[in-house]
Amino acid sequence: MATIRNHRGKWQAIVRRKGYPQQSKSFIAKTHAIKWARQVESYLDAGAVPTNTKLLDDTSVADLLVRYRDTVTIHKKGLSSENTRLNSFLRQPWAELKLSKVSAGTFSHYRDQRLLVVQPASVRRDLGLIRAIFETAIAEWDFPLTANPLINVKKPREPESRDRRLQAGEKELLLAAAEAHRESWFKFGIIPSHRDRNAPW
């Protein structure tokens, strides 16, 4: 049974299982710690968790970003914009973190800070790309991560589209403005083409 404890302002999950080294990770949210511990236990039950985590201690997020940029992004049609995004990631403080120290809280904090300066759509694209990088690291590059740290990070919601109807008097104002615009065209000798006959001017 995993141990979940409050440690230095964060929730630390500790998984102990005979025959495997102790696994531990800290999260901002208790629910994330519990979910991670359950995932680790399920991997242990299946015998899928590697006993050697030295690779995670020796590899930084920046190492993954550079490898993805140079081996995956280079083959994409939108490589220019993705290169720009990846290079901006490399300037983030979390890029220097070792993979063994990265958690959902790392990217939840990044999400919240980014939302202060860019639109939700941009943040969603950022998180989607980072998640894809970690998925590639796990599935194709054999990094012994027990789970993708982005799996518990919620993407910001897109603002709801507006469905606005004309208020009283607005229709008349619009028609008056269109009529004035049409009269100015004729005043200067500009006649709309045949295909524009149905236009308000």
77-136 confidence digits (pLDDT tens): 888 999 999 999 999 999 999 998 999 999 999 999 999 999 999 999 999 999 999 999
Q: If you ran DSSP here, which 8-state letter would residue 29 be given?
A: S
pTM of the model: 0.59
Provide the token pair at 142.
Answer: 């054999």
What is the C-alpha separation between 125 and 82, in angstroms, rounded?
10
If residue 127 lies in a helix (H) or strand (E), which one and from where to where?
A: helix 120-139
Mean pLDDT of 4-17: 87
Mean pLDDT of 70-77: 93
3-state SS, residue 68? helix
What pLDDT score was predicted for residue 134?
Answer: 95
Provide the token pair at 74.
Answer: 């280079």
What pLDDT score was predicted for residue 201?
Answer: 46
Confidence class of residue 54 from pLDDT cuts 50, 70 and 90?
A: confident
> How crowded is residue 90: how many other Cβ atoms within 10 Å of its Cβ?
13
Contact 32, 151 (CB under 8 A): no
